[in-house]
Each structure stands twice: as structure tokens, then as C-alpha cells.
Amino acid sequence: MAYVAVKGGERAIDAAHAWLAAARRGDGTVPSMQTAQIREQLGRAVDRVMAEGSLYDPDLAALAIKQAQGDLIEAGFLLRAFRTTLPRFAAALPVDTAAMRLARRISAIFKDLPGGQVLGPTYDYTHRLLDFSLLEDRPAADAPEAGAHPGPAPRIPDILGQEGLLEADIRSDAEPFDITRAPLAFPAGRDARLQGLARGDEGFLLGLGYSTQRGYGNNHPFVGELRVGEVDVEIVPAELGFAVCIGTVTLTECQMVNQFAGSKTEPAQFTRGYGLAFGHAERRAMAMALVDRALRAEELGEALTAPAQDPQFVLATCDNIEATGFVEHLKLPHYVDFQSELETVRRLRATAGSAPGAGPPPGAVPPDEPP
Amino acid sequence: MTVPDDGLAYPGFADPVHDAQASFRAVLRALARPGALCTVATPPAPPPPLAPASAAVLLTLVDADAPVHLPPPFAGLGPWVAFHTGSTGADIGDAAFVLADEWPDLALLAAGTDEVPEASTTLILQVPALEGGPRLILRGPGIEATQTFAPLGLPADFAARWAANRRLYPRGIDVLLCAGSAVAGLPRSVTVLEAA
Amino acid sequence: MKGYNFAYLDEQTKRMLRRALLKAVAIPGHQIPFAAREMPLPYGWGTGGIQVTAAVLGRCDTLKVIDQGADDTTNAVSIRRFFARTAGVATTTRTAHATIIQTRHRIPETALTEAQIIVYQVPQPEPLYRLEPSRTETRRMHALSEYGAMHVRLYEQVARYGQIAISYDYPVMVNGRHLMAPSPIPAFDNPKMHRMPALQLFGAGREKRIYAVPPYTDVASLDFEDYPFRAGRAPHACALCGAQASYLDEVVTDDRGGRMFVCSDTDYCASRREQAP
């Protein structure tokens, strides 16, 4: 066979993109999906893409999901790359989750509490039976309307904190670290850690949070409160000097309450892990709260024994945009490196002995992984 | 023409994107080839007493995240710098950049730490000329063998003062000397000797 | 490109990158953390190099992009197109015609000049990461020039194999002070870094580090007096141009052990064939 140097990369890329577009559209006899349908009917996917894409925009998230054929990590990447280019006009004031207009609010530590338990739109008590009626596109049954929407409810620290049983909120007017404008350095402050977790991969956070429950850095968690609802986003324009509301966002907030035996300087009390996520994302917020609490092990004088307690391990690994890029880059050509390894292995074998099949001596250092 | 004191009548770059890029390349070359004279893209009318090259360096590198300290005679340029770069100034020990027209006491400037040597101030030193002064011999990264450098406006004992900065390595101050529309660099890695 | 700044990045991001590059040049071989942005290409596919190139690139530049030494590998094509589209700059495959060369895993065979800048894509900027995963700890080791562990690692290889067995990303000491990862270029290319007339810039996007080697700077591959550094290549001549000293790709030609060896640097190989009588 004659060797032909690989040419035509440009044509191959163009053809691949055309094929991809056709595959994305699928069978042309099936109606094309509108992004409004994705936004309205695949809301949990939209919420995940907004969280991991680090941009609250349900329409663009729906577009990204459509463009990525439902690959949610790819969709998050599209959103993240778009976000990078956006100019910053203002920084929002901290949102007030105590003033949240609640769709759901539960506490696992008090049977009842001010503001009440609000079950809301949850899958928790659904029986996981495929609902074949959804195949037939029937209109959904009307949901019964309560007389009045639940009013604002105090947050669990506002309740438990009064007795000193729960660690106090950290009050600070300092500018928070911004992981999108400054490189994360270790040891990382809690502000930086929470930002990293807030856009970390949901599956990775879930696994790490689960690992703490399985004994790898256990921190005895209780769901103090989980709430989902809308909050106002406010900015203070320099020319006005007072706050104006520029819109609302749906958030999920989890306050995990954890046992803490106390230390030399701190009396025994409950500590907290905190989770906050764009949209309706209970699993993400809870996993984040577990991992946040685990990452506080050093601050609280606990033994560091588990991956979930290691800030560099967690934060440098949890970003799925970074992770997917580096895992998938193994598809790129590595023949130069592989060639250098081939030459080295041949040389080592020649040195080790000319006998056929002579390999590296026992205890050989395994070859480094491809870069 | 009367000019308001705050210098706001003076424009920035005519073409902010490409003039900043061209000036950056000149500054990059200046630090990569210590002592070489590199021409920047200058704004059409820099506010006095700024030399065109000093103005270009400020417009290229300074912003709210990397503020400049402006001692006399540049203190009055604050509003111009703020308007064009977003830098509202900083104390001499906290500034990413210090603009001066005479050699300062380097001990007042941040030299970084051994772990974070890059957290150090870059001194922008405006001098009368980059040629015609006492001859210095430079050696170090960026220089094939030796480089002759003879700016005006450095103190007579400059080589000794520089040696003190050099000893801090990898900590240290990096210097951009500006005159007319040219810039020359003295990175902390360079060794300076007086010519025999 | 409509809706985007010249070379994609906004000016504030470019200033941040440019300041980091200047400090990198002032401290050869020292890694500068920077706030890497998400790029429209994936992490691990050259985002660090792309950000460095975007911060440096101007209208008058001519850009060459190579991956594995070749201009026409798909990722090189993709990155070259990105800049042609977002910056409208001229591109070339000719090493000698380029003012900026972005590369993954190779240094061109044609010697670079003072008028050129080479930008390396770096997957892992920390040369000590296999020995010490904690970045807090490696930062301290660099601060103290505490590189004994790397020498121990090399010595262990000598003890086991009778030679140093690192094939690529072979660690180098820069300006006699900082241990540096040269990026996964084959060790064959390491000597080209030593006192190179061109400015060498390194970008690691995912790991958020920038570093540099100024022109004419000492770059020494780690070794021992009795086990000196050796730059290996396949012991063949290029089957296409006959080059005896270039780095070669091994091409499998059949399933019966057939092999041929050709230059990894496609421009170098093509130029030699054009000049051949």
C-alpha cells in the first residue's frame, strides 16, 4: 500500500459538521422541536444547563440543549463559552432567599415551623411507573390551586440560630472572590469553594456527597431546610444610587444541618453545609451542601481522611467543562508522544536483553499517561 | 488653547483595540529583549507631562484590576487615567504599576514573594531619552551575549541599585523605561554592569 | 467576526493575559496563574495556547498552527480557522513565513528567528505533579528551588533501566532557576528550546497557568554527568524527503509488520521535496 500523507483535514471537518447537523435534525418527517418546548417541558434539563453553564437564561439554555442534541454537558459548555464574551454592566446585590416566593419548602428536622411545610411540585412521592398516557399527548389534569400562595418564610438559621445551637451566618461586606475573574488558588476561601460547587458537575457532586454518607468524611447531615422559589435580582445603578429590580430567578436552596462536637474554641453546636442552585435542582443543592460541609473539615478541626474534604481534589475536578475537555482530548492525535514512547520502549527492550519477548525488568515504572 | 486641569480633553488611543495590541507587542519585546528600543503605538495627544510612550503603556496595561500609582509630577493625571483605563489609583505599595520620572526607592514597591514573585510592581520610568546617557552593559535572558543600553535620567549609582533588585530574584521589580514613542525594558532577570 | 471583538477575547481579558505574559517573561520558567476563560473550543484542546495567541496576535501577523508537527491535522485546522475567522489574520503553513506559531507537541525543524514567537499548548504546566499532586506544595517547592525529588525520580529510572526513560514532556531547568514542563514535545525537541532566538510562550487553559522562556535563555534538560540527556528519534531516514535528522512519525502500512517513517514536520518535509532536484 502506498503511503499518502494525511491531507484534507479542512474538507473532513466541513463534511463532519454537515453530517452532524443532519443527525441533529433526525427524521425530517417528525416535527422540529421548538426551543420554547424545551424551556417549558424539559425544565429540569434547562436548570441543570443553566447551573453548570453558569448563566441564568432559560431560552439560551433551551437553545443549547437543542443544538447539543440533548447532551447536557455539551449544552453547558455552549452556554459557558457564550457567557465568557458578555460584558459586565453591574454586580447584583446579594439575593434574599428569606423573601423567596416559595414553590416548595420542606424541613426534615421540625415537624412544623413558621411558614409551614410546602410540598410543592415534587417527584418525591410519585411511583416510578412509566406513564403511558404521556405517549398520547393528552392535556394535563388541572392542578388544584390553593387559596393563597405561601408567604415568605424565615430560613432555618433564623429559627435555630436564636438559641445559639446553630453556628451564626457569616456576615461580611467584603467583595467575594470571583472564580470567573481570578484563578482559583489553594487553600481556597469558602466563597470561592461555593462558587466552584455551584457550577460543578451534578453527577460528580452527587457521588462525592454520597461518599460522605458512606463513611468517607461523614458529617451527620440533616436537611434543615430545602426551598425552591423565585427571588428578585436587584442592582444599584451608579446614576440612581438606589436598588432596582431587574428580574427574577428561580433558585433552590439547601441548608444542611450537621452535628459538630465542638473544639477547644467552639462549644458543641450544629454546623451548616450550604447549597444553592439555579432553577429547580434539589439533588444538586443537597449534594452541594454535603460537599460544602465536608470541605469545611479543616476549618472545624476535623480529621482529613476523605476525598470530599480535599478542596483541590474537589474543586479542580468538579468542573465538567474542564473535565470533559481533558478526557475527550485523548481523541486528539498523540502520535508524536506515542512515537517517542515507542522508541523508548524499544531502547529499553534492547538494553534489557536481546532475547525475544524480553520486557522491562520487574517493578518497572509504568509509562506515564498520554498528555 | 486652555486645557482643563483634569486632562479629560486629551484622548486615548485612536484605535483602542489595535493600538493596544501594537503597544503590547512593543512592551513584550522590550521585556523579552532587555535594553532594545521598541516603538509603541501612541495616542494622538498625550496629556502633559506624559511622554507618548508612557501614555501608551498606561492605556495598554492599566485597568481597575491593575491600578497605577501616580506620584508627582503625574498626580494630576488621575482623572485622565481613570476615564481611559478604569484605574482609580492605588498606594505605592499596592499598585500593579508605578509611574515615575525619577528612580524611586524600590523598597517602597511590592517585589512579590518567593511563592508569588509575579505579585510585584512594574515601574514605568519616564526618562528624557533612551540613548546618549552613560553606557550600561546588560546580560541575561533575552540577550544573546551582551546588550549596550545608555538611557538618560538614571541615578549615577544605578548599577549598584539594580544589583540590590537583582539579588531578590525571583522576587523583584520590572522596569519599563519610556521616552518619546519608545520603550525599553529591564526585567528583574537582567544583570546590569557599568561599561568600563 | 460580527458580534465578537478582534481575536475573540474582550480587551479586559486581553489586558489580564498580557500582564501575566509580561511577568512570565520577566521570570523565565515560572508559572503565572491567570483567570483562564472558557473558550469556544474545549479545555484540553489548546485553550491555553489560543488565549495566549489571542492576547498577542495583531492584524499584521501571519499565523501558523501545528499539531504533532503537521498543519493539516484536524485540531490544527480548527484552531487556524478560529483565528482566521475571529481576527482575519493571514495564515501560513510555512514556518519561515509565520510571525506567530501555535503548536501542540512539536517544535518545527526549521530554526526559528528573533522575529518569531512560538506559543505552546500545555496540558499540564506543573513539572512536579506526578511527584506531588498538591499545588500548594509544588508552589512551595518552586519557591525554594526544591527539586531533589525530580532528580530522585530520574535516578530511579537509571537504577531500573540503566537510562532515563522519559520520552516526552522531559523536564527542563530554565535560566538555572525554575524547573519547567516543556509541554509534551518529544525529548528530541528539547535542545531546540535552549537559547532559541524566538520568544517562547506557554499557555495552559484548564490548569490556568502561563509561562515563558525569553530568547537566548538557558534551557537544560535534567540529567546526570554519567547519564547525560539523550534525544531519541527513530533510526531511519524520512521515506518521502530523505531527511536524516528530523523527527519521524511511524506509519503502519499493512498488517504484516510493514512500517515506513516520515517527517512529523509536514512543512519541513514538503519544503525539502520542493527543493530536491
Write out pLDDT tens, residues C96-143: 999 999 999 999 999 999 999 999 999 999 999 999 999 999 999 999
For residues C34-49, average pLDDT: 93
Sign, CA dihedral C19-C25-C27-C31, equals positive
Domains of chain C: 11-221 (3.40.50.11310), 233-277 (no CATH)
CATH of the domain at B163: 3.40.50.11310
Sign, CA dihedral C137-C138-C141-C143, equals negative
C78 contact residues in A (CB cutoff 8 A):
13
What are the cell numbers at B160?
549598584
What are the cell numbers at A200?
460543578
Pairing outcome for strands B97-100 and B68-69: parallel
DSSP state of A202: H
Predicted confidence at residue B146, as pLDDT, reads 97
DSSP state of C177: T
- Tell me which chain C residue has its CA closest to the CA of residue B22: C58
Amino acid letter, B105:
D
Predicted confidence at residue A363, as pLDDT, reads 43
Predicted confidence at residue A361, as pLDDT, reads 45
Mutate to test the interface with A, among C4, C167, C236, C247 (most CBs of A within 10 A): C167
- Tell me which chain C residue has its CA closest to the CA of residue B117: C27
Instruction: Please provide the DSSP assignment of C17-78 as one string.
Output: HHHHHHHHHHSTTPPEE--PPP-SS-TTSSHHHHHHHHHH--TT-EEEEEETTBSSSHHHHH
Mutate to test the interface with B, among C6, C21, C25 (most CBs of B within 10 A): C25
- Tell me which chain C residue has its CA closest to the CA of residue A54: C38
Q: What is the 3-state secondary structure (H, E, C) of chain B?
A: CCCCCCCCCCCCCCCHHHHHHHHHHHHHHHHHCCCCCEECCCCCCCCCCCCHHHHHHHHHHCECCECEECCCCCHHHHHHHHHHHCCCCCCCCCCCEEEECCCCCHHHCCECCCCCCCCECEEEEECCCCCCCCCEEEECCCCCCCEEECCCCCCCCHHHHHHHHHHCCCCCCEEEEEECCEEEEECCCCEEEECC
Closest-CA distance of chain B to residue C217, Å:
5
**Which pLDDT band holds residue A169 (cuts at 50, 70, 90)?**
confident
| Cα dihedral C177→C181→C187→C192 (10° resolution) | -60
Backbone φ and ψ of B191, nearest 5°: -105, 135
C215 contact residues in B (CB cutoff 8 A):
32-33, 141-142, 144
- Tell me which chain B residue has its CA closest to the CA of residue C175: B141
Nearest CB to C15: which of B61, B115, B142? B61
**pLDDT at C265 exceeding the cut of 90:** yes
Predicted confidence at residue A142, as pLDDT, reads 81
CB contact under 8 A, B142 and C214: yes
CB contact under 8 A, C38 and A327: no
**Which pLDDT band holds residue A153 (cuts at 50, 70, 90)?**
confident
Domain ranges across chain A: 32-87, 97-121+150-168+178-325, 333-371
Mutate to test the interface with C, among A1, A67, A328, A336 (most CBs of C within 10 A): A336
Chains that touch C (3 or more CB pairs under 8 A): A, B
What are the cell numbers at C143?
519557591
**Which pLDDT band holds residue A116 (cuts at 50, 70, 90)?**
confident
- Tell me which chain C residue has its CA closest to the CA of residue A341: C167
B63 contact residues in C (CB cutoff 8 A):
12, 15
Predicted confidence at residue A167, as pLDDT, reads 85
**Which pLDDT band holds residue A79 (cuts at 50, 70, 90)?**
very high
Predicted confidence at residue A366, as pLDDT, reads 46
Which residue has 533588585 as its cell numbers?
B165
What is the residue range of B90's domain?
16-194
A321 contact residues in C (CB cutoff 8 A):
38, 42-43
Nearest CB to C214: which of B27, B141, B170? B141
Q: Tell me the CA end-to-end span of chain A in Å, nearest whole number.
A: 31
Which ranges of chain B have pLDDT less than 70?
A: 1-6
CB contact under 8 A, C75 and A332: yes
Where is pLDDT greater, at A285 or A113?
A285
CB contact under 8 A, A1 and C34: no
Q: Walk across the sheet containing A244-258 and list its strands.
A: A101-106, A221-235, A244-258, A271-278
B80-94: burial string, b at 16+ Cβ within 10 Å, e else: bbbebbebeebebee
pTM for this entry:
0.90
C197 contact residues in B (CB cutoff 8 A):
144
Calpha distance A286→A256 (Å, rounded): 7
B113 contact residues in C (CB cutoff 8 A):
143
Query: Nearest Cα to C108, choosing from C250, C275, C269, C234?
Result: C269
**Which pLDDT band holds residue A7 (cuts at 50, 70, 90)?**
low
Mutate to test the interface with B, among C11, C16, C22 (most CBs of B within 10 A): C22
Predicted confidence at residue C71, as pLDDT, reads 93
Cβ proximity of C158 and C224 under 8 Å: yes
Calpha distance B1→A355 (Å, rounded): 92
Residues of C noted as catalytic:
29, 238, 241, 263, 269
Sequence-distant (6+) residues with CB within 8 A of A340 are C167, C168, C186, C187, C188, C232
CB contact under 8 A, B20 and C11: yes
Predicted confidence at residue A369, as pLDDT, reads 47
- Tell me which chain C residue has its CA closest to the CA of residue B26: C56
A339 contact residues in C (CB cutoff 8 A):
186, 234, 247-250, 264
CB contact under 8 A, C11 and B16: yes
CB contact under 8 A, C216 and B144: yes
- Tell me which chain B residue has its CA closest to the CA of residue C8: B17
| Cα dihedral C51→C57→C61→C67 (10° resolution) | -10
**pLDDT at A306 exceeding the cut of 90:** yes
| Cα dihedral C123→C126→C132→C135 (10° resolution) | -100
- C105 and chain A in contact, CB less than 8 A: yes
- Tell me which chain C residue has its CA closest to the CA of residue A327: C44
Assigned domain for B162 exists: yes
Assigned domain for B6 exists: no
Count of C-beta atoms within a 10 Å radius of residue A137: 6
Closest-CA distance of chain B to residue C145, Å:
10
Calpha distance C276→C240 (Å, rounded): 11
H helices of chain A, in order, are 9-25, 35-41, 43-53, 58-67, 72-84, 156-160, 190-198, 202-213, 282-295, 311-317, 320-328, 335-352
Chain C residues 42-101 with CB within 8 Å of chain A: 42-45, 47, 67-70, 72-78, 81
Calpha distance C21→A13 (Å, rounded): 32
Mean pLDDT is lowest, of A330-334, B5-9, C139-143, C245-249, for: B5-9
Query: Is residue A132 exposed (0-12), middle (13-18) or buried (19+ Cβ within 10 Å)?
Result: exposed
Mean pLDDT is lowest, of A228-232, A366-370, B112-116, for: A366-370
CB contact under 8 A, C72 and A10: yes
Chains that touch B (3 or more CB pairs under 8 A): C
pLDDT in tens, C188-219: 999 999 999 999 999 999 999 999 999 999 99
Cβ proximity of C67 and C242 under 8 Å: no
Q: How many domains does chain B have?
A: 1
Cβ proximity of A270 and A293 under 8 Å: no
Q: What percent of chain A has pLDDT over 90?
A: 57
**pLDDT at A358 exceeding the cut of 50:** no
Farthest CA pair distance, chain B? 51
**Which pLDDT band holds residue A360 (cuts at 50, 70, 90)?**
very low
CB contact under 8 A, C56 and B27: no
Predicted confidence at residue C2, as pLDDT, reads 72
Count of C-beta atoms within a 10 Å radius of residue B14: 12
**Among the ranges A129-133, A136-140, A142-146, C11-15, which has the highest mean pLDDT value?**
C11-15
Where is pLDDT greater, at A249 or B5?
A249
- B126 and chain C in contact, CB less than 8 A: no
C20 contact residues in B (CB cutoff 8 A):
118
C-alpha R_g of chain C: 19
Mean pLDDT score of chain A, rounded to an integer? 88
Number of helices and strands in chain C (H, E): 7, 12
Pairing outcome for strands B174-179 and B68-69: unpaired
Query: Nearest Cα to C41, choosing from A202, A324, A14?
Result: A324
Mean pLDDT is lowest, of A63-72, A109-118, B166-175, C237-246, for: A109-118
CB contact under 8 A, A365 and C35: no
CB contact under 8 A, C140 and B115: yes
Assigned domain for B163 exists: yes
Q: Walk across the sheet containing C199-204 and list its strands.
A: C32-33, C209-213, C199-204, C117-121, C100-104, C62-67, C90-91
**pLDDT at A232 exceeding the cut of 50:** yes
Predicted confidence at residue B5, as pLDDT, reads 56
CB contact under 8 A, A13 and C77: yes
A1 contact residues in C (CB cutoff 8 A):
253-254, 258
Predicted confidence at residue B2, as pLDDT, reads 45
Query: Is residue B152 exposed (0-12), middle (13-18) or buried (19+ Cβ within 10 Å)?
Result: middle
A13 contact residues in C (CB cutoff 8 A):
74, 77-78
Nearest CB to B28: which of C16, C25, C144? C25
Query: Nearest Cα to C45, choosing from C71, C79, C9?
Result: C79
For residues A92-99, average pLDDT: 93
What are the cell numbers at A239?
446614576
Nearest CB to C42: which of A85, A180, A329? A329
Cβ proximity of C34 and C61 under 8 Å: no
C72 contact residues in A (CB cutoff 8 A):
6-10
Backbone φ and ψ of C237, nearest 5°: -100, 155
Calpha distance C134→A310 (Å, rounded): 10
**pLDDT at C86 exceeding the cut of 80:** yes
- C190 and chain A in contact, CB less than 8 A: no
Calpha distance C82→C101 (Å, rounded): 14
- C18 and chain A in contact, CB less than 8 A: no
C-alpha R_g of chain B: 16
Farthest CA pair distance, chain C? 59
Q: Any idea what the Cα angle at residue A229 is, between residues A224 and A231, rounded to 5°?
A: 110
**pLDDT at C226 exceeding the cut of 70:** yes
Calpha distance C48→A173 (Å, rounded): 34
C239 contact residues in A (CB cutoff 8 A):
3
What are the cell numbers at B179?
521616552
Question: Helices C47-56 and B16-32 meet at what angle, rounded to 10?
Answer: 100
Count of C-beta atoms within a 10 Å radius of residue B160: 11
Predicted confidence at residue A8, as pLDDT, reads 66
For residues A235-260, average pLDDT: 92
Nearest CB to C167: which of A333, A344, A352? A344
Q: Any idea what the Cα angle at residue A242 is, between residues A241 and A244, rounded to 5°?
A: 130
Calpha distance A335→C230 (Å, rounded): 20
Predicted confidence at residue B6, as pLDDT, reads 65
CB contact under 8 A, A333 and C186: no
Backbone φ and ψ of B122, nearest 5°: -100, 125
Query: Is residue C98 exposed (0-12), middle (13-18) or buried (19+ Cβ within 10 Å)?
Result: buried
**Which pLDDT band holds residue A147 (cuts at 50, 70, 90)?**
low
Predicted confidence at residue B1, as pLDDT, reads 41
Q: Tell me the CA end-to-end span of chain C in Å, nearest whole number.
A: 44
- For residue B184, is it left (φ>0), alpha (ψ between -120 and 50) or beta? beta
